[in-house]
Chain A
Amino acid sequence: MKEYRTINKIAGPLVFVEKTEPVGYEELVNIVQADGTVKRGQVLDTSDDFVVVQVFESTAGIGRDSGVRFTGETIKMPVSRDMLGRILSGAGKPKDGGPEIIPEKRLDIGGAAINPYARESPADFIQTGISTIDATNTLVRGQKLPIFSGSGLPHNEIALQIARQARVPGSTEEFAVVFAAMGITKEEENQFMADFERTGALEHAVVFLNLADDPAVERIITPRLALTTAEYLAFELGYHVLVILTDMTNYCEALRQIGAAREEVPGRRGYPGYMYTDLASLYERAGLIKGLKGSVTQLSILTMPGDDITHPIPDLSGYITEGQIVVNRDLHRKGIYPPINVLPSLSRLMNNGIGEGKTRDDHKKVTDQMYAGYAEGNDLRGLVAIVGKDALSERDQRLLEFADHFENRFVRQGHDENRTIEDSLDLAWELLATLPEELLVRIDRGLIQKYHPKYRNKEA
């Protein structure tokens, strides 16, 4: 392989190389420093005159005397069944002291788009044991549902609880977890790893770790390695894979860093104009394929800068993912765990996975009624602050109480409390029963007769 010593410019993570033979776009590049260290990078721009290489590690130590080798192929991920149980670096190198992975296959990490025609519509209900997800924002197999959180909120605990408890009721199929950390702290890593070890989840997991002090640019490839592995496990080996990506905000920061180094025209808040397309190339790698057994379900975590849901990162993510679970600081301050605010939360695929034969026939309407009641009760809190509780009508007072019950009994649950969907829906009925029956306009009579505690208890 030819080695070029024609580096002309180094700026941040970018290295400009002159007078090369034709080099392919997105080709893998090895840069050899004077001391023999090899660093990896990828071609971002290629022409007759110069080639721009984005280096995945720190460019410290790279100089004009460093050698550049173009490998002639795009970045490939070696994959094998033996990856389960392994801990790898953000660049895919073993980090657990174990041997190198002996590949069964080498896959392009870019990942081609699934042909929409080949996709299977996700419809299998996943029970996470958390009422605010199962009952009101149902997760289905093959969905991509991010957790929108803020700094200092317990999103990691929620993600772990989901990873621990998630199962498809009545199914015993093989599952696996692919965990990709981007720029999280050592402490957060310990939290995840301790939990994986405690519950034995590590055996079914592949872990990619790019920590806060690892090179930022490496974060660009970490999720791609993880998703390539997930697709291999799902579509070639038939596993049902849950992918946890955390923290997408750090990924986007890395993207912005590269955009700035390339002196690109920035979009909103300095993030590159192509961030939507770039994020889509990650989030869209979830789903099911007709005729294949496995599935990829994505649970990504992102921290909203300043808890601002209109910030470009949560905003663009929300347009790609199939809903979002929003973690709320006020609920957290009230001491409620999991502090999931159901009002801005949404699961777009919910209707596919619920109802008769999947969860229960009353699911959809009960959820709608709970949302409506909580939204109205929550609004009334503002009014109470002005006029006092006594000025409210009887109806409004009931709604106000309903909102409190909703938070304290329905939202609040233990870290290890695993509620079945029946538990969650029955609890919902218990709360709805505190409201006058004529307020339950969204539920038809038949279902009220069937499930309302008033009539149920009569039967019993």
Chain B
Amino acid sequence: MEVKENSNGILKRISGPVVTAVGLNAHMYDVVQVGDEQLMGEVIRIEGDKTIIQVYENTSGIRPGEPVANTGLSLSVELGPGLLTSIYDGIQRPLEVLVEKMGNFIERGVTAPGLSHEKLWEFVPVVKKGDAVVPGAVIGEVQETNILTKIMVPPRSKGGVVTDIKSGEFTIDDVVCTLDNGEEITMMQVWPVRVPRPVTEKKNPDIPLITGQRILDGLFPIAKGGTAAIPGPFGSGKTVTQQALAKWSDAQIVVYIGCGERGNEMTEVLTEFPELEDPKSGKPLMERTVLIANTSNMPVAAREASVYTGITIAEYFRDMGFDVSLMADSTSRWAEAMREISSRLEEMPGEEGYPAYLAARLSEFYERAGCVETLNHDSGSVTVIGAVSPPGGDFSEPVTQNTLRIVKCFWALDAKLSQRRHFPAINWLNSYSLYLDTLSKWYDENVSPEWNSLRVWAMEVLQKEAELQEIVQLVGSDALPDEEQITIEVARMLREIFLQQNAFDPVDTYCSMEKQFDIMKSIKTYAELAYGAQKLGVPPAKIITIAAKNDLPQVKFMKDYKEEITRINSAMGAEVGTLKEAYQR
């Protein structure tokens, strides 16, 4: 980055990742270069002549008196061809390039641009000389991976009439289009991460993001452009759930932010994604993915920046008209980074030491999600799924509470469930989705007109079971009336067959809407048969132990399940029929 003239300061104080400089003529959130090694930092407070800077790298050995230079720019990311398949740290330094530059460990003072400035991309124009273009308009396309990405007029451009447009191979710095006002457009845009990219209009989301996870699609769906929180104590399967979403959700682009998480887990993502196949295109999943990995031992200030870097990249793809899903794992680590920096600044703390602006920052972030009409009048969406790690599993802590006030979907992970190996360990009683009404039309039209009533039925059974369980805890299940013994059994089937899903089984890891419907329908078929038989006086113990239904769990692991499930349905019918006959006589 260029250094502005007359903007040099001197370091005065160093205390961890927060340093103080004097004589620096800076603005808030300007990016500065700190010390002889030119470590990257950002201005976070100005007091008279003093400038307080958070540094994105380790500050060991830095001394007062070393120079500080201002770049005059805000923390920005480079947006353009080359983003897909990239793996970045919190400030968009490509980790692969860093390994080449400085070896296996992340040393400091090394910078690398977010995008390759040498690589040539085949630019195919879609406008011609004389066309009028507005900001956000698509002027050309680049086949980046198996995904065709768009080149757009930058949002801050004035727009105008195309006077020259090129075609062929270019780097991201080459001018590919010139407008009548003299403006030159390249394939790369630079955008400050803390500023949301503009859109024409925000719309109400009414299409579900299909995830292939039965409990989510079936009971607690999220809309494309919606927001969800997954809070869970450690060990409740939060990361596995998020990774399953990243793998299987039907968004075209996935941005995955590992914010303050484990190195080995990030590596797992890094090694697994390139090998996994996108269920739709058959190409490696990585081709539609951008990963941001800022592990827990990487500098705390870069962790704070990582979620902004991620969402800015997501918005850029949204502007092209894609459906983007963004996973942030975990927003608690991000909040803790804010707390840590705030406490170094000796700010007056709010609840539990978090800064008073925690709620504002969280809502600003989630508000960048949405289903939008882009500047180019296309539609695109960013779905944000944030993991929250409440300390001690206590949902009343500030990060969880402030998140719940904003998000529309809540998938409550439950340590109790994961202890009994019920995965995904999402508690069906505590979770909710506020998108049910807006999405019901889609389910009617695309799955089955029966779907919505089936869902309500399943929720009722599960709710009823919870009430009955309280009684069972006291008196044992044999003391329940016959009808309710069947309800307990049906609920058990819903839990074990429908809700439980094995993320590590090659077939069960993704369940199509059709299969979800068939499984749920089959359970309901059994329920109807069972209640019918019970009314005729068949003892519940007989109905519960029919052999045919024992095959149902295996259906989950079958690729071609249709025949089997039809067979089971009729076998259940036949077996219950025999029972009924026996008792009618």
Our verdict on whether A and B bind, yes or no, reads yes
* Chain A residues within 8 Å of B, Cβ to Cβ: 22-27, 44-48, 73-74, 108, 110-122, 142-143, 235, 264-268, 273-274, 276-277, 280-281, 283-287, 289-290, 292, 309-312, 315-316, 318-324, 343-344, 346, 348-349, 351-352, 364, 368, 371-372, 375-376, 382-383, 386-387, 391-393, 396, 438, 441-442, 444-445
Contact of B300 among A268, A274, A444 (CB under 8 A): A274
**Would A310 and B394 be within 8 Å (CB), given that A121-B268, A143-B264, A346-B235 are in contact?**
yes
Bound Cα distance A396, B20 (Å): 66
B420 x A113 contact (CB < 8 A): no
Bound Cα distance A318, B233 (Å): 9
A116 x B61 contact (CB < 8 A): no
Kindly count the residue-residue contacts between A and B in the assembled complex, taking CB atoms under 8 Å apart: 228
Contact of A387 among B12, B13, B234, B476 (CB under 8 A): B476
**Would A320 and B296 be within 8 Å (CB), given that A48-B13, A344-B419 are in contact?**
yes
Q: A347's closest neighbor in chain B, by CB?
A: B235
Q: B61's closest neighbor in chain A, by CB?
A: A24
Chain A min CB distance to B267 (Å): 4
Bound Cα distance A26, B12 (Å): 15
Decide if B343 is an interface residue (CB 8 Å cutoff): yes
Interface 9-residue window, one of B99-107, B116-124, B174-182, B373-381: B99-107
30 A-B pairs (CB sep. < 8 Å): A24-B62, A26-B60, A45-B13, A47-B14, A48-B64, A73-B61, A110-B58, A112-B105, A113-B295, A115-B95, A115-B99, A121-B264, A267-B339, A273-B343, A274-B343, A277-B296, A277-B340, A280-B260, A280-B297, A284-B295, A285-B297, A287-B267, A316-B391, A344-B415, A346-B235, A351-B504, A364-B504, A391-B475, A392-B476, A444-B557
Chain B min CB distance to A67 (Å): 20
**Would A376 and B420 be within 8 Å (CB), given that A46-B14, A320-B262 are in contact?**
yes
Decide if B42 is an interface residue (CB 8 Å cutoff): no
Bound Cα distance A286, B295 (Å): 13
* Chain B residues within 8 Å of A, Cβ to Cβ: 12-16, 20, 58-66, 87, 95-96, 98-99, 103-108, 234-235, 239, 258, 260, 262-268, 270-271, 293, 295-298, 300, 333, 336, 339-340, 343, 346, 349, 352-353, 389, 391-394, 415, 419-422, 472-479, 496, 504, 550, 553-554, 557
Chain B min CB distance to A202 (Å): 29
Residues of B within 8 A of A24 (CB): 14, 60-63
**Would A315 and B392 be within 8 Å (CB), given that A267-B353, A284-B262, A289-B104 are in contact?**
yes
- Most B Cβ at <10 Å: residue of A46, A309, A352, A364: A46
B61 x A27 contact (CB < 8 A): yes
Q: DSSP class of A's interface residues: helix, strand, loop or mixed?
A: mixed
B104 x A118 contact (CB < 8 A): yes
B392 x A281 contact (CB < 8 A): no
B15 x A45 contact (CB < 8 A): yes
Residues of B within 8 A of A119 (CB): 263-264, 266-267, 270
B421 x A375 contact (CB < 8 A): yes
Bound Cα distance A311, B293 (Å): 28
Residues of B within 8 A of A344 (CB): 235, 415, 419
Contact of B297 among A25, A267, A281, A372 (CB under 8 A): A281
A116 x B340 contact (CB < 8 A): no
A122 x B63 contact (CB < 8 A): no
Chain B min CB distance to A15 (Å): 16
Bound Cα distance A416, B59 (Å): 48
**Would A368 and B421 be within 8 Å (CB), given that A47-B13, A267-B339, A445-B554 are in contact?**
yes
B61 x A117 contact (CB < 8 A): no
Bound Cα distance A115, B268 (Å): 13
Residues of B within 8 A of A321 (CB): 262
Contact of B98 among A26, A115, A322, A442 (CB under 8 A): A115
A284 x B297 contact (CB < 8 A): yes
B297 x A45 contact (CB < 8 A): no
- Most B Cβ at <10 Å: residue of A110, A267, A268, A286: A267
A322 x B264 contact (CB < 8 A): yes
A391 x B478 contact (CB < 8 A): yes
Chain A min CB distance to B476 (Å): 4
Q: A118's closest neighbor in chain B, by CB?
A: B104
Residues of B within 8 A of A287 (CB): 263-264, 267
Chain B min CB distance to A283 (Å): 8
Chain B min CB distance to A129 (Å): 24
Q: B332's closest neighbor in chain A, by CB?
A: A319
Residues of B within 8 A of A276 (CB): 260, 296, 333, 336
B297 x A113 contact (CB < 8 A): yes
Q: A280's closest neighbor in chain B, by CB?
A: B296
Given contacts A73-B61, A316-B391, A343-B419, 16 further A-B contacts (CB under 8 A): A25-B60, A26-B59, A45-B14, A46-B14, A115-B95, A116-B95, A116-B270, A117-B99, A118-B103, A119-B267, A265-B343, A284-B263, A285-B297, A310-B392, A344-B415, A348-B239
Residues of B within 8 A of A285 (CB): 297
Q: B95's closest neighbor in chain A, by CB?
A: A117
Bound Cα distance A328, B105 (Å): 38
**Would A117 and B343 be within 8 Å (CB), given that A22-B65, A387-B476 are in contact?**
no
Chain A min CB distance to B239 (Å): 8
Residues of B within 8 A of A44 (CB): 15
A116 x B297 contact (CB < 8 A): no
Chain B min CB distance to A302 (Å): 14
Residues of B within 8 A of A444 (CB): 554, 557
Chain A min CB distance to B347 (Å): 8
**Would A116 and B107 be within 8 Å (CB), given that A25-B14, A444-B554 are in contact?**
no
Contact of A25 among B12, B15, B422 (CB under 8 A): B15
B394 x A387 contact (CB < 8 A): no
Chain B min CB distance to A234 (Å): 12
Contact of A265 among B298, B346, B554 (CB under 8 A): B346
Chain B min CB distance to A286 (Å): 8
Residues of B within 8 A of A143 (CB): 264
Contact of B235 among A324, A383, A392 (CB under 8 A): A324
Chain A min CB distance to B399 (Å): 13
B421 x A383 contact (CB < 8 A): no
Bound Cα distance A313, B504 (Å): 31
Residues of A within 8 A of B475 (CB): 387, 391
Bound Cα distance A115, B99 (Å): 7
Bound Cα distance A371, B423 (Å): 12
B293 x A116 contact (CB < 8 A): yes
Contact of B263 among A114, A364, A382, A396 (CB under 8 A): A114
Residues of A within 8 A of B293 (CB): 116-117
B20 x A113 contact (CB < 8 A): no
B106 x A268 contact (CB < 8 A): no
B340 x A118 contact (CB < 8 A): no
Bound Cα distance A111, B422 (Å): 39
Bound Cα distance A391, B415 (Å): 29
- Most A Cβ at <10 Å: residue of B16, B265, B270, B420: B420
Bound Cα distance A321, B61 (Å): 29
**Would A116 and B64 be within 8 Å (CB), given that A273-B339, A320-B262 are in contact?**
no
Q: B19's closest neighbor in chain A, by CB?
A: A25
Residues of A within 8 A of B108 (CB): 112
B421 x A371 contact (CB < 8 A): yes
4 interchain residue pairs of minimum CB distance: A310-B392, A47-B13, A280-B296, A375-B420
Residues of B within 8 A of A23 (CB): 63-64
Chain A min CB distance to B180 (Å): 45
- Most A Cβ at <10 Å: residue of B391, B393, B474, B477: B391
**Would A47 and B391 be within 8 Å (CB), given that A113-B297, A117-B95, A280-B260 are in contact?**
no
Residues of B within 8 A of A349 (CB): 264
Residues of A within 8 A of B340 (CB): 273-274, 277
**Would A310 and B391 be within 8 Å (CB), given that A112-B105, A371-B419, A438-B550 are in contact?**
yes
**Would A46 and B13 be within 8 Å (CB), given that A110-B60, A315-B391, A346-B235 are in contact?**
yes
A265 x B349 contact (CB < 8 A): yes
Bound Cα distance A309, B99 (Å): 38
Q: A45's closest neighbor in chain B, by CB?
A: B15
Chain B min CB distance to A449 (Å): 13
**Would A118 and B99 be within 8 Å (CB), given that A143-B264, A273-B343, A372-B421 are in contact?**
yes
